[in-house]
Amino acid sequence: MDRLIECVPNFSEGNDLSVIRQITDEIEAVDGVELLDVDPGKATNRTVVTFVGTPEEVVEAAVRGVRKASELIDMTKHSGEHPRFGAIDVCPLVPIASVTMEETAEYARELARRLGEEVGLTVYCYENAATNQERRNLADVRTGEYEGLAEKLADPHWAPDFGPAEFNPRSGATAVGARDFLVAYNVNLNTTSTRRANAIAFDVREKGRMRRKGHPLTGEVIRDADGKPEWVPGSLKSVKAIGWYIDEYGIAQISMNLTNISVTPIHVAFDECSERARDRGVRVTGSELVGLVPLQAMLDAGRYFLRKQQRSTGVSDSELIKIAVKSMGLDELGEFDPKKKIIEYVLAAKGTTKLVDKSLEAFVEETASESPAPGGGSVAAALGALGAALGTMVANLSSHRRGWDDRWEEFSDWAEKGKVCQEELLGLVDADTQAFSSILDALRLPQGNEKEREARMAAVETATSHAIDVPMKVMEVSLEAMETIRAMADIGQETSASDAGVGALCARAAIRGAYLNVRINAKDLSDQSAATNYLDRGAEMEKQATVMEREILSLVDGNI
């Protein structure tokens, strides 16, 4: 996978779409950068832009976008609900693929340097790019906001990391950081009271609230021996939160930054806010995600709410996402389109079309065409996926069967196992065709001299090995899927016995078909030892599949 980082600049303009468009045009002008999301907010008067690319491309695009923003946005005329201290308020970099956090921090410092020297901005580095511990927390860096920036810059202790130390009324200051994937998440309340929203925010955020004597909001602040306020921690780790009123929607919200969703996932934050709101006589009505969210976060949320309902979690990703959206009310304030809100789906939409994205009719027609790919290997993988899907279906149906409520979790676990096999086999449909294409590419390499001939032979050998590895994987995963199918033929609901039987036939056909591909490619390997090893392993799996098919069909016959 390419080395990828994400950049999520927050520009202090959320109403003038022409200004936003000019900024994003500059970003998109950099070759290799993909603009993933533009999310303007009227009440906050702030736009969150998300783009991704290789580190060097992303840094260049950020410099161009920020330069244009500094020309167009005037902070002397800005007002909004969100904390801010500059026209380009924050500009974090996030490692996505094949890049470490340490490397990302270095790129962030390079970006900060260029913004200071080339654009003339006052720049602070925060989070993992911070130059000292005191500047790691963005809230500390932004203390006083734009209105207090002139006084802050007069203090040598708060001299910027890059750029001028003089107050620029037009641009303010910018914070550049390197951080983990952050989810900006707002929970909607059935109140217009900012005070109530803030109280709930203080209940849940990690920092909590200051300890007080008497009344928790108005009482005297309790201080330690050094005179510093004591704090009562909130209930959620890795969460920053404030309460605000959004005039655009006429409601108050708890606005949160989930800085580590492996510590506090979205669904946990939603449920905790719901509980704390209920304690204060307020009700959560829904929520909204600002910017993009990782697919896994949505799938985890879907599974979480299905488990609360004692329903099987071995359902499709689209169903898990639907459950997550409805459970957290993510569509209350506007449409939640997974293709536009989930980062993996956005990236996939910008890539090449896959075989598995085609309709069944189109896949069959392409298989039937004069093109040699997709061929038997891809069809074998598709058969395996269908077999796994049938086993998963029986598990899901059994999980919801009336009178079997105490067994729902057992069948849910089987459905999860079947779904994993199903998804892996779907991926192998395209992998097989790509492996075949790699052989053709290797065969087309030049062979005009001895060095070129040796390089071509090595490339063909490598491509051939890969073209064997893929159907071997089809065999392994299809055999694993037969475990779920066998369990469902044994303990699943009797009315679905025929479905388990068809699943077994599909999986067995996938294994036998994939082995044919192993055999036909193994004869082209020059490494005869490797070829023999492939053939022996494949023959053993085919033998196991034959035995399992017989067992499954015997169970099916007994239930019909």
The predicted-structure confidence for 249-264, as pLDDT tens digits, reads as follows 999 999 999 988 989 9
- The model's pTM: 0.77
DSSP, collapsed to helix, strand or coil, labels residue 392 as helix
What is the percent of the chain with per-residue pLDDT over 90, rounded to a whole number? 84
pLDDT band at 1 (very low <50, low <70, confident <90, very high): very low
Residues of the chain with CATH 3.30.70.670: 183-348
Buried b (16+ CB within 10 A) or exposed e, 360-373: eeebeeebeeeeeb
pLDDT, one tens digit per residue, over 104-127 is 999 999 999 999 999 999 999 999
pLDDT, one tens digit per residue, over 263-304 is 999 999 999 999 999 999 999 999 999 888 889 999 999 999
pLDDT band at 351 (very low <50, low <70, confident <90, very high): low
Q: Are strands 251-258 and 239-246 parallel, antiparallel or unpaired?
A: antiparallel
Record the tokens describing residue 517, joined without a space.
């591909």
pLDDT band at 226 (very low <50, low <70, confident <90, very high): confident
DSSP, collapsed to helix, strand or coil, labels residue 490 as helix
- Architecture category of domain 183-348 in CATH: 2-Layer Sandwich (3.30)
Residue 197 has pLDDT above 80, yes or no: yes
Residue 189 has pLDDT above 70, yes or no: yes
Least confident of 158-167, 210-219, 416-425: 210-219
Residue 436 has pLDDT above 50, yes or no: yes
Note the CATH number of domain 4-178: 3.30.990.10
The number of beta carbons lying within 10 Å of the beta carbon of residue 116 is: 19
Residue 10, phi then psi, degrees to nearest 5: -110, 115
The number of beta carbons lying within 10 Å of the beta carbon of residue 61 is: 26
* CATH class of residue range 352-559: mainly alpha
* C-alpha to C-alpha distances, 488 to 190, 332, 388, 395, 413, nearest whole angstrom: 46, 39, 11, 6, 12
Q: What is the overall mean pLDDT for the chain?
A: 94
Please give the positions annotated as active site: 82, 432
- How confident is the model over 442-449, as a mean pLDDT? 92
Residues of the chain with CATH 3.30.990.10: 4-178
DSSP, collapsed to helix, strand or coil, labels residue 177 as strand
Q: What gap in Å lies between CA 129 and CA 513, rounded to an integer?
A: 53
The pLDDT score that the predictor gives to residue 310 is: 94
| Higher-pLDDT residue of 36, 119 | 119
Residues of the chain with CATH 1.20.120.680: 352-559
pLDDT band at 352 (very low <50, low <70, confident <90, very high): low
pLDDT band at 344 (very low <50, low <70, confident <90, very high): confident
